[in-house]
Structure 1
Amino acid sequence: MERAKKEQLVAELHEKLQRASAAVLTDFKGLTVAEITALRDNLAQQGVEYKVVKNTLMRIAAKGTAAEVVEPLLTGTNAVAISYQDPSALAKVLKKFAKEKDKFQIKGGVLGTKALSAQDVEALADLPSREEMLAKLLGTLNAVPTGLVRVLSGVPRAFVGVLAAIERERQQAS
Structure 2
Amino acid sequence: MGLVPYNVYDIGILPPTDWRLFYCVVGRGDYMPNQKNIDQVKLIQEQFENNEVVILTEFQGLNVSEIGELREKLRQADVRYKVFKNRLIAVAAGDLGIEGLEPYLYGTTAVAMADDPATIAKVLLDFGEEHEDLKIKGGILNNQVIDAEMAASLVHMPSKNQLLAQVVSGLNAPIYGLVYVLKAGNPVSGLANVLSGTIRQFSNVIQAIADLKENPEGT
Taking structure 2 as the reference length, the TM-score comes to 0.60
Report the equivalent of 2:119.
Answer: 89
Which of 98, 109, 118 is residue 78 of structure 1 equivalent to? 109
Alpha-carbon distance between aligned partners in 1 of 2:154 and 2:97, rounded to the nearest angstrom: 18
CA contact (8 A) 1:66 1:112 kept: no
Query: Which of 1 and 2 has higher RCO (CA within 8 Å, sep 6+)?
Result: 1
Is the Cα–Cα contact under 8 Å of residues 117 and 157 in structure 2 kept in the other structure?
A: no
Read off the aligned partner of 1:145 and give its amino acid letter. Answer: P
Pairwise CA RMSD of aligned residues? 1.9
Identity %: 39
Partner residue, 2:174 = 145
Post-superposition offset of 1:50:
0.8
Q: Give the TM-score normalised by structure 1.
A: 0.74
Larger gyration radius, structure 1 or structure 2: 1
1:44 equivalent among 61, 75, 81:
75
The aligned amino acid for 2:154 is L
Partner of 2:96: 65
Higher helix share: 1
3-state secondary structure, aligned to 1:82: strand
Asked if 2 retains the 8 angstrom alpha-carbon contact of 1:23 and 1:82, the reply is yes
Q: Which amino acid aligns with 1:10?
A: V
**Structure 1, residues 46-100: CA drift from partner, whole Å, max 9, x if none?**
22211111111111122232654422211112111111x2122111111111111
Q: How many residues align?
A: 144
- Structure 2: unaligned runs, 5 residues or longer: 1-31, 176-219
What is the alpha-carbon distance in structure 2 between the residues aligned to residue 33 and residue 68 of structure 1?
33
